Structure 1
């Protein structure tokens, strides 16, 4: 819990011109300080992303194991680390000063950036401390920070113009030219060069880096926007920085399911291309075409939320904006080289095989759908078990009704068949990085086939600290087209919104969905389904967060079993699915499923071993995959960052020997310690098929799956 903290800095600071006050969200048990800036805005902090050889870096959590190892590698590479912070300590570490607070580090060490290496439940406090100290660039790499903590952080960021955040759930930011690494990127892949990279996924960005290095292009600035629901820096902001970067001659854009960022990037790129005679070429990739509907695919933000486009819509929008799309990051280097030489690809068709060797144009991912899909209601609207977002915590309809009646005296009951059902939900607007009321005039089309609806959803974002105001509620009433414009209908709508937002704050909601009808001049709730952020509970939030609520997790047994080992496992549908996949990194895991599908194969599962996979984790992954009787071959696709290639190889060998594997295994290892891993596989004398090329490995896995 944060107590009130004075944010005003000394006289010479811009913050001395601010009026500071404490304001908390309704019923919130956490106190959060906010200031309203009189000058500047968060957009003014974008130049902080232009890191270089002179960037002075500190570490928060400096003396911890991860920070120490990372700092040693970064120092050896050339990063100008000037010290760090460990609360309550004044000492020396790695020959550099350790100070007890970020404010003291800011005063004495004059850093330009801070890298936050603390656990997820400590990260919000560390970010807040860095904002208060006015560190220009804050890089947070932690995964599973509760969404509401990030919404609070954004409510701070929007009121200031001194600090820029990258992350969380991000590998960080790195300048290959300036030898400045603020994150945990695998350094052997990088080489100084010409390509700027923007990526949601760490492993896909590493693959892109390796591809551009092999192509002799190298990298300029790589910005890991991360896979969080509310990232500190989004794709459009990163694009605007690379546009102005003189070292960047071409851009790789790596996206995935979740959010509107890719559509916003497409709109920006279309405008950018129109106003430039010689725009920088942009090559892109979108992971998650074959997502499991309504499921989190590894990253905390990797799922299609209410009102958001799917991967195909993102691909279509980017193609229409002039971006060249590929289906695997290993292809980006050669395509980028061709574009920088001025050779345009031609002859694109819908029926190409991206795995057939030959000209580069045959390897492009040209997935053209029926056109850009309007913003639609995603699988959260559908109330079937198979479509539930299974890595959150839920209340069913009856439990939701009980909460609404008890908290706000809301009229709830089953739908009688009379009246137009409308959508009203409290959730998160990822673009606004704030909570929002989500509404739709009708849900009639959503009830039967939620995945095929074209019904629009409108977002009404509101300030996290203040909640929705009366004017917003009047606009919502107008948008949902209440036939009864009387005071009683609007008053009951206002009472329902207040009840939902209070519950959203108090229990740290993710998406609280209701279907409403007009009944006797008032609003009646005829269906409800509430989802809460599981990260809040994972990170040790006190049990009273869910007091008086009978929450239930809806994960299948294999998924619960996997999670205990730090593995994200999602079983994919299809009796014809035959290829078990074992991958490190959520983005790469999604892309592996997609690329296999493009080549004619079908994966039985999505499996992300996690960024810190061990040999035991790999063995456990095999055990979980092989519980599925459909699996005829296991395809291991590893690109080493934090995960080491030799460690993965040892896990594969261990699995073979201890689990008595009877299905063939195809292994592709690239990245950190790739040669050591490949050698271990080659020397094992086990029936393994080892490759370093993805296309060859995928082709072999598909061949074996058909026997």
Structure 2
């Protein structure tokens, strides 16, 4: 089992209450008392000043080893002392990813009611351990990580890094995986005169502290919320669970709040993580198209760009319906998101052999993961558990057994299927459903779970030897999962001479744990095969997530801040008849140099005829992006046209820099106009 030097918590269940009882803590308002962890850091300081000016009741903060004052507020050395002296209702955690798990645990120990973690790339095993802790208590609620945070426009309380100029007090509640798409939604509802009530950024992590259903249940009861915007994306089953919740909510409510939604990632690149830590289709998870269908069947109006959300919700609140019939030639004015998917083949679930953890001939590997191939996996299984391993002979039913992560349960799980089809290259082919058997992170799977797994696998040999060999395989996989911080350890097995034989294996481990300080000896014995595209590797060194999209006729290079917005930009361009050559997320901490390097990466692709820069700033500043564009023009001698759309934080400054540059740039603040221009230029 996992050993850790971090503080330990009791594994017993709480005597009174549960984690669900902490949902009311999400109802922040003007009276919410907020502290910052990492208070004296640069980002926390800037954020605190802006939030104070906006009206947030920040009462102080924590920096280990420090006491005194900072920006006129008290600084204390521990969260425990801050709780005793400042009596906060919430804490905002502004520390690096490798420090964030300890900061979250410290806040849980101190029983801070609401904990908001904004950091990206927290190792997934740290989050699984934290969820195991959260489930044993009823005093603290977590939002994040990999989240913009939570904000009440009505109560002027901001716990996160949302761009404040976009917000206005109003009636629309927002639940979003993507920060940038939530900002676009905020801007849309502000332009429509609706404003916002409570905006909950559940975030794009694999194991979020608050999920979509939990956030929806809070907005249902929020008296300030009259309508809801739901922003999802690829990865996980949260949107399907939200659809089931919405269907039940509409059936039991006499006057339900209208809900409009968007799903980003329809045009995902299979085998890649699309920016967010959890933005990939895991084993047995639904496609973006399947999520759209389920939400529409539940009664949600789906759109293909967040700029449409404000007007649609306004029409619904006024009782005039939704989109209605569209006229004219504007490609962005057409129907719902589902109507734009007529060329996609077959709804359904990703097959066992598709997605980011493919078992044969992957074009690219996930940067979230490091891998062992089949022969290396066999060596590990033999050495650790004496497991019988070897190539598939063609005889016997192949079954799936894997140790991975159940995103809905927010815990590790054993994933099984009683049969596996022959290898099929086409991603649309489906296989037997994958059944998940979650288990507590700190306790591991118990004997009863293993008995149920044996039954579900439909082994023909029910004897002790078959079950014992299955038990030994599960123990070996789970030990490896803990020790090497696994993401998905997959095996295919058959029955052989009354026992289990592994005929294929592929293991993926969390690279974030290595980047964020895991001791090298934890993975040094593994032979890792790097097969990423060279341009993608080079981009990653600059903090850029770049994915080259397939096709000979793709012509639009995209440069976007934020994974959700980058996915949606590719989707919306496709709906309008454009063809993006790449997905590119500059990252939340982009600099002018990052923007220049993004241009360099994009222009290495000879297919690109125009670059479309689509920025909606939160942490990313509009003026910084503009300076990066000017730098790229000067240093890279650009010969392709550039279309620029800048909104959000410092948008006016950024637009002015572009306007005053004297360079041949096409500048817009409206997405539809900018996209239409980029498509026009791409066809010349």
1:290 aligns with 2:267: yes
Note if contact 1:227-1:300 (Cα within 8 Å) is conserved in structure 2: yes
Provide the C-alpha distance between the structure 1 equivalents of 2:679 and 2:61, rounded to a whole number of angstroms: 49
Note if contact 1:445-1:455 (Cα within 8 Å) is conserved in structure 2: no
Query: 1:326/1:197 Cα in 2 relative to 1: closer, same or farther (>3 Å)?
Result: same
SS at match of 1:272: helix
Q: CA deviation at 1:549?
A: 1.4
Note if contact 1:569-1:608 (Cα within 8 Å) is conserved in structure 2: yes
The more displaced of 48-57 and 636-645 is 636-645
Deviations 1:528-564 (Å, cap 9, x if unpaired)?
A: 1100001101102110111321123332211111111
Residue in 2 aligned with 1:12? none
Query: 1:210/1:330 Cα in 2 relative to 1: closer, same or farther (>3 Å)?
Result: same
Q: CA deviation at 1:498?
A: 0.4
Provide the C-alpha distance between the structure 2 equivalents of 1:454 and 1:93, rounded to a whole number of angstroms: 58
Q: CA deviation at 1:427?
A: 0.3
Provide the C-alpha distance between the structure 2 equivalents of 1:432 and 1:601, rounded to a whole number of angstroms: 39
The more displaced of 396-405 and 675-684 is 675-684
The more displaced of 499-508 and 376-385 is 376-385
User: How many equivalent pairs are there?
Assistant: 681
Note if contact 1:327-1:354 (Cα within 8 Å) is conserved in structure 2: no
SS at match of 1:73: helix
Provide the C-alpha distance between the structure 2 equivalents of 1:545 and 1:361, rounded to a whole number of angstroms: 46
Provide the C-alpha distance between the structure 1 equivalents of 2:602 and 2:531, rounded to a whole number of angstroms: 20
Provide the C-alpha distance between the structure 2 equivalents of 1:602 and 1:196, rounded to a whole number of angstroms: 33
Provide the C-alpha distance between the structure 2 equivalents of 1:293 and 1:361, rounded to a whole number of angstroms: 20
SS at match of 2:12: strand
Residue in 2 aligned with 1:706? 683
1:662 aligns with 2:632: no
Q: CA deviation at 1:663?
A: 0.9
Note if contact 1:194-1:248 (Cα within 8 Å) is conserved in structure 2: yes
Residue in 1 aligned with 2:627? 650
Q: CA deviation at 1:249?
A: 0.2
Provide the C-alpha distance between the structure 2 equivalents of 1:226 and 1:349, rounded to a whole number of angstroms: 33
Q: CA deviation at 1:33?
A: 4.8
Note if contact 2:556-2:581 (Cα within 8 Å) is conserved in structure 1: yes
Query: 1:397/1:352 Cα in 2 relative to 1: closer, same or farther (>3 Å)?
Result: farther
Query: 1:126/1:246 Cα in 2 relative to 1: closer, same or farther (>3 Å)?
Result: same
SS at match of 2:616: strand
The more displaced of 342-351 and 532-541 is 342-351
Deviations 1:613-634 (Å, cap 9, x if unpaired)?
A: 1111110000000101111111
Query: 1:105/1:510 Cα in 2 relative to 1: closer, same or farther (>3 Å)?
Result: same
Note if contact 2:100-2:119 (Cα within 8 Å) is conserved in structure 1: yes
Note if contact 2:595-2:628 (Cα within 8 Å) is conserved in structure 1: yes
Note if contact 2:323-2:335 (Cα within 8 Å) is conserved in structure 1: no
Note if contact 2:202-2:210 (Cα within 8 Å) is conserved in structure 1: yes
Query: 1:262/1:352 Cα in 2 relative to 1: closer, same or farther (>3 Å)?
Result: farther
Q: CA deviation at 1:353?
A: 6.6
Provide the C-alpha distance between the structure 2 equivalents of 1:349 and 1:371, rounded to a whole number of angstroms: 29
SS at match of 1:185: coil
Provide the C-alpha distance between the structure 2 equivalents of 1:575 and 1:120, rounded to a whole number of angstroms: 39
Deviations 1:302-355 (Å, cap 9, x if unpaired)?
A: 000001001000000000001011111111111111111011136679999742
Q: CA deviation at 1:388?
A: 3.8
Query: 1:220/1:72 Cα in 2 relative to 1: closer, same or farther (>3 Å)?
Result: same
Q: CA deviation at 1:294?
A: 2.2
Provide the C-alpha distance between the structure 2 equivalents of 1:111 and 1:688, rounded to a whole number of angstroms: 48
The more displaced of 501-510 and 89-98 is 89-98
Unmatched 5+ stretches in structure 1: 1-26
Provide the C-alpha distance between the structure 2 equivalents of 1:608 and 1:68, rounded to a whole number of angstroms: 26
Provide the C-alpha distance between the structure 1 equivalents of 2:526 and 2:336, rounded to a whole number of angstroms: 59
Q: CA deviation at 1:658?
A: 0.9
Residue in 1 aligned with 2:13? 36
1:548 aligns with 2:490: no
Note if contact 1:334-1:360 (Cα within 8 Å) is conserved in structure 2: no
Query: 1:366/1:353 Cα in 2 relative to 1: closer, same or farther (>3 Å)?
Result: farther
Note if contact 1:317-1:372 (Cα within 8 Å) is conserved in structure 2: no
Note if contact 1:423-1:443 (Cα within 8 Å) is conserved in structure 2: yes
Provide the C-alpha distance between the structure 1 equivalents of 2:62 and 2:272, rounded to a whole number of angstroms: 38
Note if contact 1:578-1:602 (Cα within 8 Å) is conserved in structure 2: yes
Q: CA deviation at 1:362?
A: 9.9
- Cα RMSD of the aligned pairs, angstroms, is 2.4
Residue in 2 aligned with 1:426? 403
Unmatched 5+ stretches in structure 2: none
Residue in 1 aligned with 2:162? 185
1:73 aligns with 2:53: no
Q: CA deviation at 1:371?
A: 7.0
Q: What is the TM-score with the length of structure 1 in the denominator?
A: 0.93
Deviations 1:130-171 (Å, cap 9, x if unpaired)?
A: 001110000000000000000000000000000000000000
Note if contact 1:331-1:363 (Cα within 8 Å) is conserved in structure 2: no
Query: 1:352/1:237 Cα in 2 relative to 1: closer, same or farther (>3 Å)?
Result: farther
Query: 1:675/1:313 Cα in 2 relative to 1: closer, same or farther (>3 Å)?
Result: same
Q: CA deviation at 1:373?
A: 8.3
Note if contact 2:370-2:511 (Cα within 8 Å) is conserved in structure 1: yes
Provide the C-alpha distance between the structure 1 equivalents of 2:418 and 2:206, rounded to a whole number of angstroms: 26
Provide the C-alpha distance between the structure 2 equivalents of 1:28 and 1:396, rounded to a whole number of angstroms: 31
